[in-house]
Amino acid sequence: SGEEQSPRLFQFHKDGFLVLEQFFSAEECDSMRRQIQRIVAEMEVPPHCRTAFSTREAEQLQQQGSSDYFLTSGDKIRFFFEKGVLDEKGNFLIPKEKSVCKIGHALHAHDPVFKQITHSPKVQELGRKLGLERPVVVQSMYIFKSLLAVIPHQDATFLHTEPLGRILGFWIALEDATQENGCLWFIPGSHTNGITRRMVRAASGASPCVEFVGSEPAYDDQQFIPVPINKGGLILIHGEVVHKSELNSSESSRHAFTFHVMEARGTTWSKENWLQPTPELPFPSLYT
What does the DSSP assignment read for 132-150?
-SSEEEEEEEEE---S--E
3-state helix, strand, coil split of the chain in percent (to 5) is 30, 25, 45
The answer to whether residue 77 sits within a structural domain is no
Distance CA 22, CA 242 (A): 24
- In a domain? residue 156: yes
Residue closest to 46 by CA, chosen among 21, 22, 65: 65
What tens digit of pLDDT does each residue of 249-273 get?
898 889 999 999 999 999 999 999 9
CATH number at residue 257: 2.60.120.620
pLDDT in tens, 103-149: 999 999 999 999 999 999 999 999 999 999 999 999 999 999 877 88
pLDDT in tens, 166-178: 999 999 999 999 9
Q: Which helix (H) or strand (E) holds 234?
A: strand 234-238
pLDDT, greater one: 6 or 238: 238
DSSP string, 43-87: PPPPGGG-PPP-SHHHHHHHHHHHHHHHHT-TTSEEEEEPTTSB-
Note the pLDDT of residue 145. 81
pLDDT, position 206: 81
**Average pLDDT for 222-247:** 97
**Predicted pLDDT at 231:** 98
The reported pTM is: 0.95
Q: Can you tell me whether residue 219 is helix, strand or coil?
A: coil
Q: What residue type is 33 in one-letter code?
A: R
Residue 66 lies in a domain: no
Confidence band for 232, pLDDT divided at 50, 70 and 90? very high
Range of the domain at 229: 7-25+108-269
What is the Cα–Cα distance from 54 to 31, expressed in whole angstroms?
A: 43
Please report the pLDDT score of residue 5 as a whole number: 58
- Confidence at residue 4, expressed as pLDDT on a 0 to 100 scale: 55
Q: Which of 131, 117, 139, 140 is nearest to 165 (CA)?
A: 131
Residue 3 has pLDDT above 70, yes or no: no
Whether residue 198 lies inside any domain: the answer is yes
Phi/psi for 100 (5° steps) reads -95, 135
The answer to whether position 243 is within a domain reads yes
The total of structural domains in the chain comes to 1
Residue 203 above 90 pLDDT?
A: no
Q: Is residue 181 part of a domain?
A: yes
What is the distance between the alpha carbons of residues 135 and 119, in angstroms, rounded to a whole number?
11
- Evaluate the CA torsion angle 29, 35, 41, 43 in order and state its sign: negative
Tens digits of residue pLDDT in 25-71: 999 999 999 999 999 999 999 999 987 767 888 888 888 899 999 99
The residue type of 179 is: Q
Give pLDDT, residue 1. Answer: 45
Whole-number Å distance between alpha carbons of 101 and 2:
39
- Residue 135 has a pLDDT of 98
Domain assignment of residue 219, yes or no:
yes
Strands (E), 228-270: 234-238, 243-245, 256-263, 268-269
Asked if 159 and 262 touch (Cβ cutoff 8 Å), the reply is yes
Q: Partners of 261 in the beta sheet?
A: 137, 168
User: What are the two backbone dihedrals, phi and then psi, of residue 201, each rounded to the nearest 5 degrees?
Assistant: -65, 135
Q: Are 234 and 168 a contacting pair, CB within 8 Å?
A: no
Any domain includes 31: no
